[in-house]
Structure 1
Amino acid sequence: MWPEEVNSSASRIMRFIRGAMRMRSFSKLLRVKHWVKNILVAVPLFFSQNLLQMDIWKSTVLGFIAFSLISSCVYIINDIQDVDKDRMHPKKKFRPIASGKITVKSAYFIFAICLCVSITISYTIASMNAVVIVLLYLFLNIAYSKGLKNKALIDVVILTSGFFLRVVYGAVISHVEISAWLYLTVISGAFYLGFGKRRNEMQQQGNDGTTRKVLKSYSLSFLDKNMYVCLALTNMFYALWATSKESQAYFISVPLVMIIFMQYSLDIEGDSDGDPVEVIGQDRTLICLVLLYAALMVTLLYILRL
């Protein structure tokens, strides 16, 4: 009996390991770690000082889930579209579809589920307005995947629109208005991140177009200049938002935001590939600065109620 029990236990362990590997592959396919970008849907609610209203808070949480699923749909389509190129990339070749861990047919099935759930949640919490936004986000990114990613500037514009649509979606589902200065801060900041990502891709891969065709249309000088122009605009728009508040206490956050972007710039000037999630996740100093900013804003908005 003992050998049979050992074999049975070993079989259960192997099934568990295979199940864990499948879950890890699904997680990579959905880019779960990139869902952190969708925290932007909570920006309108947070800055409106209504974060503690449970009914609105629940809608925002559901909206976060819905936008995370629609963003996963985009990642799935991109992986299917770029599977051949990904297999030649030193890092991307390990993605689930490129490596063969998930078939294209299975990926389409997962895409359909995520799309249906995202639309259902969006319609439930904010009617057709929210549905239109998630479908617009999906349409723009499919167009990006089908060819617009190879058009200089248009590729960065679409990347930027994703951040902007997240904030608009958050405003729609939470039924709150957001300052025009904050919208402009998000837009210019997203352009800064987009140009920074392209800059570091070119620095690491060159501009021969082997892994990303659009890099042939850019130069490091162009990307550097526009990246830091957008950074300057981001700091300026944020400062204008702070000055629009009744309390001068919000001025304290302006230099902190500047320092956060300086630290981020220091990172992407190094060996990073420019992906915002990777940059932030690998820099403890940057994480601490972001947490400090969050604590400051919670204090000003919700404790002091300024």
Structure 2
Amino acid sequence: MTTHSRPAPPASPDIAVAQAGTGAEATGPDTPLVLDLDGSLIRCDLLHETALAYVRRNPLRIFVLARWLLEGRAAVKRKLAERVSVDVDFLPVNEELAAFATEAKANGRTVVLATAADVFLASAIARRFPFIDKVVASDGVTNIKGAAKADKLAELYPDGFAYAGDSAADLAVWRRAKSVVIVEARGSVERDARQAGPVEAVFPRKSVARAFAKAARPHQWAKNALVFAPLILGGHLADPAAWVNALIAFVAISILASTTYLLNDLFDLPEDRLHWSKRHRPLASGRLPVLYAIAALPVGFLLSFGLGALIGAIAVVILLAYLLLTVAYSMSLKRQPILDAFTLAVLFTLRLGLGITAAQVVVSPWLLVFSMFLFSSLSFAKRHTEIERMATLGERKVAGRGYLSSDGPLILAMGVSSGLAAVMIMVLYLINDAFQAGLYQNSVWLWAFPPVLFLWIGRIWLLCQRGELNDDPVAFAVRDRASVALGAVMAAAFLAAWFGLGA
């Protein structure tokens, strides 16, 4: 098991520590401050984290976990602690509680970590925080939680102690404590905790719903607008039934995409916490509990496939292919250089396939080939950004990927060439298909597409090379004024061609 003992960074002086309660007057330097670990000092649950890491390597291990549970929770925690590597340096910390404990230590109070987590992990984490004097934890036989924790602390500190916790299981401890510190507890738990004893401090609960919404990444649904492209290019603009089916397809793929984002973030937890921006994601930062994300997975899948079934069996097959490829990407393909970008391009192209099925149109094969090259280029741009950032930080490898910092020039070349190939395919599509289809009143306006596309791809790669690109080019384009303006020019050119302006 890999552990580290890097000290926690000093708390920022502008952190809003807590709301002081009446119990603050009842505690002095002789009253130990006891901190819970899971969901309190750290913004995650070590049992859930280690179980997820264990199963992530091989999903069939869930049956091994079920067998271990028959031996008791303490035994499960010990077995997981022995088999799973945890980088304790990067577990998300409740900085407000850490600042509170640092101040208590400075005032002469003993600070104790009391947790149901296994003592192996608890001791490793305690070394990260210089203010912790003692560790009380599960030992593989006894699960130090609820009443067992209360009895143990009452035995160690008969003259009283202050306890900082967050869950209903902590109520038994709060009732035996001299004062209560409430750490981001649910409303019902906070109400009961306030009745358990004098309240020393309260750390308000953050919105889990807001964290869940952020983890679902609804801003990424802009990518799913691709399902409307076949309807528009296939000449079904005036077909209400096609629009209804395309809208259902859009909602289905959006729900599935959000659900797979949660799945991917669960797989990526350790790597995301090492990433300069992804460490702020709800799951990586601990704002969204792991169990909430796991519970949302079956709900999201059922909703998505249920909506797909309204369109037809082929739509369900496409959604299933999207899910399976996403799972394969999360588990393995994203760590394979070049193949990872190709996989992302396939996922984008599957959106077009879903749109074709929903609108019941025949679309030129050029569109699918164009999609593969365009989105390969954008995927390479995302990887190039990550490679350059890691090189700037002095890292040789990109965490969770198969790239080295020295791969930057190759990925730049492949990305630019893929983008230019997409422009060429657009020209071939116009010449060999769009102008021959008879769908447009004045198809000459479509010649605006290649130069606008060239300018946009050039802008993406210019900013990428300068290190100014967001690590997701599609999300960047939605917010970038120049990109939006170029998109508006293409939309205007399409409408002019469709309605025959100047014909």
TM tier, shorter chain? 0.7 to 0.9
CA distance change for structure 1 residues 74 and 161 in 2, over 3 Å: closer, same or farther?
A: same
- Give me the TM-score of the superposition, normalised by structure 1: 0.88
Query: What is the distance in 1 between the residues matched to 2:352 and 2:455?
Result: 23
- Gaps of at least 5 residues in structure 2 are 1-186, 188-203, 437-442
Which of 342, 351, 357 is residue 172 of structure 1 equivalent to?
A: 357
Query: Could you say which residue in structure 1 is the equivalent of 2:307?
Result: 121
Percent sequence identity over matched residues?
27
8 A contact 1:204–1:273 mirrored in 2: no
Query: What is the distance in 2 between the residues matched to 1:92 and 1:190?
Result: 22
Query: Could you say which residue in structure 2 is the equivalent of 1:283?
Result: 480
8 A contact 2:220–2:475 mirrored in 1: no
* 1:249 counterpart = 2:437: no
Query: What is the distance in 1 between the residues matched to 2:465 and 2:246?
Result: 35
CA distance change for structure 1 residues 61 and 218 in 2, over 3 Å: closer, same or farther?
A: farther
Query: Could you say which residue in structure 1 is the equivalent of 2:238?
Result: 52
CA distance change for structure 1 residues 282 and 248 in 2, over 3 Å: closer, same or farther?
A: closer
SS in 2 for 1:134: helix
RMSD: 2.2
Query: What is the distance in 2 between the residues matched to 1:19 and 1:249?
Result: 55
Q: Which amino acid aligns with 2:459?
A: Q
Query: Higher mean Cα deviation, 64-73 or 48-57?
Result: 48-57
SS in 2 for 1:185: helix
Q: Deviation at 1:211?
A: 2.2
Query: Higher mean Cα deviation, 85-94 or 44-53?
Result: 85-94
Q: How does 1:123-202 map to 2 (within 5 A)?
A: 123-125=309-311, 127-202=312-387
Structure 1 consecutive aligned stretches of length 4 or more whose deviation exceeds 6 Å: none
Q: Deviations over 1:40-60 (max 9, x none)?
A: 111100111212311110110
Query: Could you say which residue in structure 2 is the equivalent of 1:259?
Result: 455
8 A contact 2:469–2:476 mirrored in 1: yes
Q: Which amino acid aligns with 1:90?
A: W
Query: What is the distance in 2 between the residues matched to 1:35 and 1:20?
Result: 25
Query: What is the distance in 1 between the residues matched to 2:294 and 2:425?
Result: 41
Which of 287, 299, 305 is residue 496 of structure 2 equivalent to?
A: 299
Kindly indicate which of the two structures has a greater share of residues assigned to helix: 1
Q: Which amino acid aligns with 1:29?
A: A
Query: What is the distance in 1 between the residues matched to 2:291 and 2:303?
Result: 19
* 1:225 counterpart = 2:413: yes
Q: Which amino acid aligns with 1:190?
A: F
Query: Could you say which residue in structure 1 is the equivalent of 2:223?
Result: 37
Q: Deviations over 1:185-228 (max 9, x none)?
A: 11100111111111111011126225233112871221111112
- Gaps of at least 5 residues in structure 1 are 1-10, 12-17
Q: How does 1:1-16 map to 2 (within 5 A)?
A: none
8 A contact 1:49–1:302 mirrored in 2: no
CA distance change for structure 1 residues 135 and 248 in 2, over 3 Å: closer, same or farther?
A: same
Q: Deviation at 1:283?
A: 2.1
For these two proteins, the number of residue pairs brought into alignment is 289
Query: Could you say which residue in structure 2 is the equivalent of 1:67?
Result: 253
Query: What is the distance in 1 between the residues matched to 2:307 and 2:485?
Result: 33
Q: Which amino acid aligns with 2:361?
A: V
CA distance change for structure 1 residues 220 and 23 in 2, over 3 Å: closer, same or farther?
A: same
Q: Deviation at 1:243?
A: 1.5
Query: What is the distance in 1 between the residues matched to 2:500 and 2:290?
Result: 50
Query: What is the distance in 1 between the residues matched to 2:463 and 2:483?
Result: 9
Q: Deviations over 1:96-118 (max 9, x none)?
A: 11122222221122121111011
- Give me the TM-score of the superposition, normalised by structure 2: 0.54
Q: Deviations over 1:68-118 (max 9, x none)?
A: 111112111111111122223232122111122222221122121111011
Query: What is the distance in 2 between the residues matched to 1:298 and 1:35?
Result: 24
Q: Which has the higher contact order (CA 8 A, sep 6+)?
A: 1
8 A contact 1:164–1:183 mirrored in 2: yes
